[in-house]
Structures are given as structure tokens and as C-alpha cells.
């Protein structure tokens, strides 16, 4: 299923960091669902419930950390902090909203808190790896693959690293970079459209 998501705004009104973060949070959530669909089609067992939930949380953390790295180059330190905090909080809210349907045994608020703890823990684990204009380095992607692998059944773990590093990670980063470019630098999107004679949506 093709994913269409707004990556620029027609209005010239300045957008705040919280609004940018909301767009990226929605993108991350949709990309997570598409990733699960692809992996299921590739015969990985990701059952509704704990397996689905853990997979999505790792996926969202990966994209939040990647978005923060991109923001490091595009935003002032204060703006970057505002953006990343708003993004992680919004993702935690989305995870909490999914809790009742997927993990009803968890206490209200517990899923969101667990997500924030996971993000903080993974921040340290990803910290030594690089991320530049071309995207995450091998170590960054390998760390993501290792985290996703642990959410899968034992029988699926052997092949998961290649799937995540070669398919899931590149697609997610491509969409993230494209969307962030559009919302942080809308003038570049307009300029590119003008050069190619593209108007409208």
C-alpha cells in the first residue's frame, strides 16, 4: 500500500516545533504499520498483542532517534530539543492509546512510561553510531536490527537482521528524510517543484 503523507504546507504561516513533531509522529506510526505488513508478507510471525506492541515501540524509537539526528543539522539547539521532546511525548501518547486494545492488562499510563524508558535506554545504545546526510551508518542500522530481532519469535530471528537492515531501515529513513526536508525547509520543496514545472499537490 502506497503511503501518502503531507511533507510541506501550502500556507506561509510559520509552524511550531510541536506541529512538526506531530507530523513526524504520524509518519512514524504509519511506517511502523507498513513495516509489520511487509514482514508478515515475508513470513515473519508478528502476532497482535505483545509481539506487535514491542515491534512498534522499537520501530518508533529508531525513527525518533533518527529524526533527532537529522534535526541536529537543521535546527538550533533549543529548537532541536523542543522538537525531539515533543516528538517522543507524542509517540508515547500514541503507544498509550494503543494499549487498551492490545495490552489491556497494563495499567493506564504504563505503556507510555515504558516507551519513554525504552527511548532513554536506546538513546545510550545508539549514541556511539554515526548518522549523516546519507542516513544511519552500519552500526546504527545494526543496532536497530538487533532490537527488532528480539521482538520476534525464535524461529524468525536468524533472517530478521538482513530484512531490517536491507529493507525496513532504508525505506523508513528515506520517508523520514523526505518529510523532514519538506516541513523544515519548505522553500526547497517549492524551488524543486518550480524547476520541474510541478504545481499543486
Q: What share of the chain is helix, strand, coil (3-state, %, to 5)?
A: 75, 0, 25
pLDDT for 87 equals 97
What is the model's pLDDT at position 103? 86
For 33, the domain range is 17-185
Residues of the chain with pLDDT under 70: 1-15, 187-201
Kindly state whether residue 10 falls inside one of the protein's structural domains.
Answer: no
Structure letter (DSSP) for residue 132: E
Contacts 24+ apart (CB under 8 A), 128-131: 131/66, 131/69, 131/70
Residue 26 lies in a domain: yes
Residue 190 resides in a domain: no
The answer to whether residue 198 sits within a structural domain is no
Q: What is the pLDDT of residues 166-189, one digit of tens each?
A: 999 999 999 999 999 989 877 654
CB 131 within 8 A of CB 113: no
Give the pLDDT score at 14.
52
Count of the separate structural domains present in the chain: 1
Which pLDDT score is estimated for 99? 87
Asked whether residue 6 is domain-assigned, the answer is no
Q: 192 in a domain, yes or no?
A: no
Per-residue pLDDT at 15? 65
Please indicate, yes or no, if residue 131 is contained in any of the structural domains: yes
Is 37 contained in some domain?
Answer: yes
Beta strands in the chain (DSSP E): 131-132, 135-136
The per-residue pLDDT for range 59-94, each reduced to its tens digit, is: 999 999 999 999 988 889 999 999 999 999 999 999
Amino acid at each position: 500500500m502506497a503511503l501518502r503523507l503531507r511533507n510541506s504546507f501550502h500556507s506561509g504561516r510559520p509552524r511550531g516545533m510541536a506541529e512538526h513533531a506531530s507530523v513526524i509522529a504520524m509518519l512514524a506510526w504509519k511506517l511502523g504499520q507498513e513495516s509489520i505488513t511487509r514482514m508478515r508478507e515475508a513470513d515473519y510471525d508478528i502476532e497482535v498483542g505483545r509481539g506487535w506492541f514491542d515491534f512498534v515501540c522499537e520501530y518508533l524509537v529508531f525513527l525518533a532517534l533518527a529524526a533527532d539526528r537529522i534535526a541536529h543539522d537543521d535546527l538550533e539547539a533549543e529548537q532541536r530539543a523542543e522538537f525531539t521532546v515533543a516528538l517522543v511525548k507524542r509517540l508515547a501518547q500514541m503507544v498509550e492509546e494503543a494499549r487498551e486494545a492490545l495490552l489491556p492488562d497494563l495499567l493506564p499510563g504504563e505503556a507510555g512510561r515504558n516507551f519513554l524508558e525504552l527511548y532513554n535506554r536506546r538513546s545510550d545504545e545508539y549514541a556511539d553510531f554515526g548518522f549523516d546526510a546519507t542516513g544511519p551508518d552500519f552500526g546504527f542500522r545494526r543496532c536497530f536490527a538487533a532490537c527488532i530481532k528480539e521482538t520476534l519469535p525464535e524461529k524468525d530471528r536468524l533472517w530478521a537482521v538482513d530484512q531490517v537492515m536491507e529493507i525496513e531501515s532504508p525505506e523508513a529513513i528515506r520517508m523520514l528524510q523526505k518529510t523532514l526536508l519538506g516541513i523544515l525547509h519548505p522553500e526547497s520543496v517549492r524551488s524543486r517543484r518550480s524547476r520541474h514545472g510541478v504545481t499543486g499537490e
